[in-house]
């Protein structure tokens, strides 16, 4: 795959950054997220969380072994379109 492929659009983290960091530090998916900021952007990991897990599975050959799984953070509270723009 192309190492310049952006996996985390919010933080602009590429596949190359993720694979290089994972190989250099032999880290878990959670540690990879913390080292690269992948999944910590505006969407909170909703778009890239599964891709990060899949990349780690491919590199390590194991399922995610973290006791604290990767998760995404939904907005603090939902806001309706009516509240944002009026009636």
The structural domains of the chain, with segments of one domain joined by +, span 6-85
For 44-74, the pLDDT digits (tens) are 888 888 888 888 888 877 665 555 555 556 6
pTM of full prediction above 0.85:
no
Q: Per-residue confidence at 4, pLDDT binned at 50, 70, 90?
A: very high
pLDDT at 24: 93
Find the distance separating the first CA and the last CA of the chain, reported in whole Å.
Answer: 47
Q: Is a pLDDT exceeding 80 seen at residue 1?
A: no
Find the mean pLDDT for residues 28-56.
86
In order, the DSSP letters of the chain are --TT-EEETTTTEEHHHHHHHHHHHT--HHHHHHHH-TT-STTTTTTTHHHHHHHHHHHHSS----SS-------SS---HHHHH--
**What percentage of the chain reaches a pLDDT higher than 90?**
26
> Which of 2-6, 31-35, 66-70, 71-75 is predicted least confidently?
66-70
Report the alpha-carbon distance of residue 73 to residue 87 in Å, rounded: 28
């Amino acid at each position: 795959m192309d190492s310049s492929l952006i996996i985390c659009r919010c933080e602009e983290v590429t596949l190359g950054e993720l694979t290089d960091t994972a190989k250099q530090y032999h880290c878990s998916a959670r540690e990879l997220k913390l080292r690269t900021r992948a999944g910590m952007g505006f969407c909170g990991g909703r778009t890239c969380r599964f891709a990060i897990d899949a990349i780690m599975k491919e590199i390590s050959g194991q399922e995610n072994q973290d006791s604290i799984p990767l998760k995404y953070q939904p907005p603090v509270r939902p806001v309706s379109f009516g509240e944002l723009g009026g009636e």
